[in-house]
């Protein structure tokens, strides 16, 4: 039986979206035709492009422009790209990537339907939601309804990962302290034994070693979130603004909530190891999410050409 469910994404990779949606329907959603809500910043998708997607792939794909701004209580000097003492910022996060921080607000605010910079109001009517990226690659046939597991699980994911690098470290600054303060404020004890041990031993490394969800392909049982103090947790996160200040990811912030309040760990479909899904396409475009000032298709074509030339030079000479 088809579920009261929908798929949503925030798109900036103009030249990858068509391939992403095509694979999504060809390898899974053709059976169910769950509605897909494509959110985007600025005017990057023309009526002609949208008509092409609807005619070629599905009429059940809708496009929604999202307005965005940095919240008033967060100063410009506190934004992540100003933290030049971090290696990741110096090497890969200039000011022009502010759009990605707006993206983190969008992904974190799982239930802030219709609010500034968040999911559209129409998504409020669904019990189950799937979040993907515009370079999510459904590369093999999936012959079952992914939403089925949400009848018995609050959250599911395409795969899990516990890799830890300087980039991940630099994007989790202050997260463990914030989380411990949250537990203390409301007298909560994590239900996940590993996370509970991390708190009891005050050992942040144990938290980092958790098997985090993919983020780029997560499924949420919104009914279960409504039974838990999700709104109180989300309010604290938004007030602190770690997604703007430290580039905290939704997979970490939402994940910590789930490991605190749900008895079950996220259901892992293990689609990556099964060769059915990848978090990106074999393309230089997958490694680049443009900022708000260079989202248009012309600039993206230049970036694609530049990266393609770099790739071929490396192949030939190195």
Q: What is the pLDDT of residues 105-141, one digit of tens each?
A: 999 999 999 999 999 999 999 999 999 999 999 999 9
Cα-based distances in Å from 243 to 174, 176, 234, 318: 11, 14, 12, 38
pLDDT of residue 306: 45
Of 289, 108, 249, 95, whose CA–CA distance to 167 is shortest? 249
- Whether pLDDT at 300 is above 80: no
Tokens, residue 291: 């900022």
> How many Å apart are CA 148 and CA 239, to the nearest integer?
34
- Whether pLDDT at 256 is above 60: yes
> How many Å apart are CA 135 and CA 19, to the nearest integer?
8
Provide, rounded to the nearest whole percent, the portion of the chain with pLDDT above 70: 89
pLDDT digits (tens, 9 = 90+) for 156-197: 999 999 999 999 999 999 999 999 999 999 999 999 999 999
Pairing of strands 217-221, 212-213: unpaired
pLDDT (average), residues 21-40: 98
- Whether pLDDT at 301 is above 70: no
Q: Which helix (H) or strand (E) holds 91?
A: helix 87-92
Of 245, 118, 262, 249, whose CA–CA distance to 190 is shortest? 262
274 band by pLDDT with thresholds 50, 70 and 90:
very high
Mean of all residue pLDDT scores within the chain:
92
pLDDT digits (tens, 9 = 90+) for 143-156: 999 999 999 999 99
pLDDT of residue 282: 86
pLDDT of residue 309: 46
305 band by pLDDT with thresholds 50, 70 and 90:
very low
pLDDT digits (tens, 9 = 90+) for 277-298: 999 998 765 555 655 554 444 4
Domains of the chain: 5-317 (3.90.550.10)
Tokens, residue 260: 């605190």
- Whether pLDDT at 14 is above 70: yes
Question: pTM, whole model, 2 decimals?
Answer: 0.90
pLDDT of residue 253: 98
pLDDT (average), residues 235-242: 98
């Amino acid at each position: 039986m088809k579920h009261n469910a929908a798929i949503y994404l925030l798109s900036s990779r103009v030249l990858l979206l068509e391939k992403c949606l095509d694979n999504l329907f060809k390898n899974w959603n053709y059976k169910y035709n769950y509605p897909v809500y494509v959110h985007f910043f600025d005017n990057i998708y023309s009526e002609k492009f949208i008509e092409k997607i609807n005619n070629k792939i599905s009429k059940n794909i809708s496009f929604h422009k999202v307005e965005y701004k940095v919240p008033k209580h967060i100063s410009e000097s506190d934004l992540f790209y100003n933290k030049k003492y971090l290696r990741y910022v110096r090497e890969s996060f200039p000011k022009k990537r502010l759009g990605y921080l707006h993206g983190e607000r969008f992904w974190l605010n799982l239930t802030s339907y219709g609010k500034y910079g968040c999911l559209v109001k129409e998504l409020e009517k669904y019990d189950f939601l799937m979040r993907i990226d515009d370079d999510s690659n459904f590369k093999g046939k999936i012959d079952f309804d992914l939403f089925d597991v949400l009848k018995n699980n609050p959250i599911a994911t395409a795969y899990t990962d516990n890799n830890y690098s300087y980039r991940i470290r630099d994007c989790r600054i202050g997260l463990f302290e914030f989380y411990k303060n949250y537990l203390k404020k409301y007298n909560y004890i994590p239900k996940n034994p590993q996370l509970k041990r991390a708190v009891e031993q005050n050992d942040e490394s144990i938290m980092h070693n958790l098997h985090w969800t993919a983020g780029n392909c997560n499924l949420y049982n919104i009914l279960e979130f409504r039974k838990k103090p999700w709104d109180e947790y989300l309010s604290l996160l938004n007030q602190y603004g770690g997604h703007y200040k430290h580039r905290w990811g939704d997979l970490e912030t939402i994940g910590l909530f789930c490991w605190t309040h749900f008895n079950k760990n996220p259901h892992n479909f293990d689609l990556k190891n099964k060769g059915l899904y990848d978090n990106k396409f074999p393309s230089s475009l997958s490694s680049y999410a443009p900022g708000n000032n260079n989202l248009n298709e012309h600039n993206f074509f230049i970036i694609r050409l530049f990266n393609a030339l770099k790739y071929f030079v490396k192949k030939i000479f190195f």
